């Protein structure tokens, strides 16, 4: 009994180490490529004679990141909060709109053109209005991010909801399911993978959305985010290495969020992740 349990535990530990090794292997190509690009960048910046203000070398960016760590971190937390809350707002509004469009085809014809058009509105055009309405706090920025993020969520969720096997409604009808039950038992779970795919696209554009939000709606806070930090360092002080340092953080944040969502997908829609055999 004990021996069996030990053997089990041993196998688990082994499986854990294996899983870790597997994960490292999965990320190895990306890390190697990033390292190679950084090396090439370093060589180019050092030996091509390009100006430091135009393209700082990676070591200059690293040292700017190191020496301004405190302020970069505080700005990062501001931006991260905006991105995550903005994405949550976009998910809530986007999936609600998608469900409404799915259930009421009339709404699709009425709302879709407007939703598409809204993606073409340059945010600075409405930035001042948003500040006029909601002030210098976080909310106008969340609205900007949500506005940029909600579209891929709506489109992929609407498609996901409609992708149920056309025979499925007939079956459910003969099982006496109501329209709501057909939605709850079949359409909604079937749409979940597509909705999460939409969320991943939304997240990728959401990070740049935060940059747009910070630069188009002024803030009253002491730390107003990485986007503001980048713009300030580029336009006023020619502190290019500091701008690049903030950009590197944004870059890493987008990658981390993307993989966090992939992980969530594996937990929320295991049947889909397994079928795809996906790692990300």
Partner 1 sequence: MASTGYPPTQPGADPLNLWGNAREGSEVPTELQSRPQPADRRRASGDAPAVAVERVSRTYHGEGGTTVRALADVSLHATGGELLAVVGPSGCGKSTLLELICGLQQPDSGRVACAPAVLMPQRDLLLPWLSALDNAALALRIARVPRARARAQASALFDELGLDGFQQARPHELSGGMRQRVAFARTLLSGKSLLCLDEPFGALDAITRGEMQEWLARTLAAQPRTTRPTASTALSRTVVLVTHDVEEAILLADRVAVLSRRPGRVVAELAVEIAHPRSRTDPEVLALRERALSALGAGEPL
Residues that bind partner 1 (CB under 8 A): 165-179, 181-182, 185-186, 189, 269, 271-272, 274-275
Q: Least distance in Å: CB of 200 to partner 1?
A: 20
Q: How far is CA 237 from the centre of its chain?
A: 30
Q: How far is the CB of 265 from partner 1 (least distance, A)?
A: 13
What's the closest the beta carbon of residue 90 comes to partner 1, in angstroms?
25
DSSP states of 225-258: -HHHHHHHHHHTS--HHHHHHHHHHHHHHHHHHH
Burial status of residue 38 (CB atoms within 10 A of its CB: 0-12, 13-18, 19 or more): middle
Taking the complex as a whole, how short is the minimal distance between the CB of residue 92 and partner 1, in angstroms? Answer: 22
* Closest CB to partner 1 among residues 72, 192: 192
CB-nearer residue toward partner 1: 59 or 179: 179
CB nearer to partner 1: pick between 146 and 186: 186
Q: Which C-beta is closer to partner 1: that of 21 or that of 171?
A: 171
Question: Rounded to whole angstroms, how far apart are CA atoms 58 and 45?
Answer: 8
Burial of 31 (0-12, 13-18, 19+ CB in 10 A): exposed
Nearer to partner 1 by Cβ, of 23 and 179: the residue is 179
Shortest CB 187 distance to partner 1, Å: 11
Q: Does residue 122 come out as left (phi exceeding 0), alpha (psi in the -120 to 50 range) or beta?
A: beta
Tokens 């910046």 identify what position?
45
């Amino acid at each position: 009994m004990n021996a069996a349990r030990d053997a089990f535990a041993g196998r688990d530990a082994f499986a854990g180490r294996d899983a870790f090794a597997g994960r490292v292997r999965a990320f190895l190509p990306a890390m190697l490529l990033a390292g190679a690009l950084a090396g090439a960048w370093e060589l180019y910046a050092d030996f091509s004679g390009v100006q430091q203000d135009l393209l700082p070398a990676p070591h200059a960016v690293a040292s700017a990141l190191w020496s301004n760590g405190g302020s970069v971190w505080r700005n990062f937390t501001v931006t991260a909060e905006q991105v995550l809350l903005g994405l949550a707002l976009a998910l809530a509004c986007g999936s609600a709109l998608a469900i409404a469009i799915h259930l009421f085809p009339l709404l699709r014809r009425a709302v879709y053109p407007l939703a598409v058009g809204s993606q073409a509105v340059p945010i600075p055009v409405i930035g001042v209005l948003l500040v006029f309405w909601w002030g210098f706090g976080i909310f106008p920025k969340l609205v900007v991010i949500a506005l940029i993020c909600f579209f891929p969520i709506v489109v992929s969720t609407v498609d996901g909801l409609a992708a149920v096997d056309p025979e499925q409604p007939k079956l459910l009808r003969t099982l006496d399911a109501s329209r709501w039950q057909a939605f709850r038992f079949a359409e909604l779970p079937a749409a979940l993978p597509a909705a999460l795919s939409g969320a991943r696209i939304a997240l990728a554009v959401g990070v740049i959305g935060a940059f747009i939000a910070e630069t188009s709606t002024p803030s009253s806070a002491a730390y107003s985010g990485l986007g503001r930090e980048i713009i300030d360092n580029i336009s006023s002080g020619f502190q290019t290495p500091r701008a690049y340092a903030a950009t590197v953080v944004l870059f890493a944040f987008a990658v981390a969020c993307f993989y966090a969502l992939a992980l969530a997908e594996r937990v929320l829609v295991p049947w889909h992740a397994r079928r795809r055999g996906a790692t990300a």
